[in-house]
Chain A
Amino acid sequence: GAGVSQSPSNKVTEKGKDVELRCDPISGHTALYWYRQSLGQGLEFLIYFQGNSAPDKSGLPSDRFSAERTGGSVSTLTIQRTQQEDSAVYLCASTWDTKNIQYFGAGTRLSVL
Chain B
Amino acid sequence: AQSVTQLDSQVPVFEEAPVELRCNYSSSVSVYLFWYVQYPNQGLQLLLKYLSGSTLVKGINGFEAEFNKSQTSFHLRKPSVHISDTAEYFCAVSLIKAAGNKLTFGGGTRVLVKP
Q: B93's closest neighbor in chain A, by CB?
A: A100
Bound: A31/B49 CA distance, A: 19
Given contacts A45-B104, A50-B99, contact A104 B43 (CB under 8 A): yes
8 Å CB contact of A56 from B42, B51, B100, B105: B100
Q: Interface size of B by Cβ–Cβ distance < 8 Å?
A: 23
B70-92 residues with Cβ-Cβ distance < 8 A to A are 90
Q: Give every chain A residue within 8 A of B43 (Cβ-Cβ).
A: 4, 91, 104-107
CB proximity to B under 8 Å, residues A56-113: 56, 59, 91, 93, 98-107
The docked-state distance in angstroms from the alpha carbon of A22 to that of B19 is: 37
B46 within 8 A of A: yes
Smallest Cβ-Cβ distance to B44: which chain A residue: A104
Given contacts A100-B103, A101-B49, contact A43 B94 (CB under 8 A): no
Does B101 have its Cβ within 8 Å of any Cβ on chain A? Answer: yes
Interface pair B105/A102, CB less than 8 Å apart: no
Minimum Cβ distance to chain A for residue B105 (Å): 4
Interface string of A18-45 (1 = CB under 8 A from B): 0000000000000101010000001111
For A50, the chain B residues whose CB sits under 8 A away are 99-100
> When the two chains form the complex, which single residue of A43, A98, A99, A106 contacts B42, counting CB atoms closer than 8 Å?
A106
A-side residues, CB < 8 A to B, are 4, 31, 33, 35, 42-45, 48, 50, 55-56, 59, 91, 93, 98-107
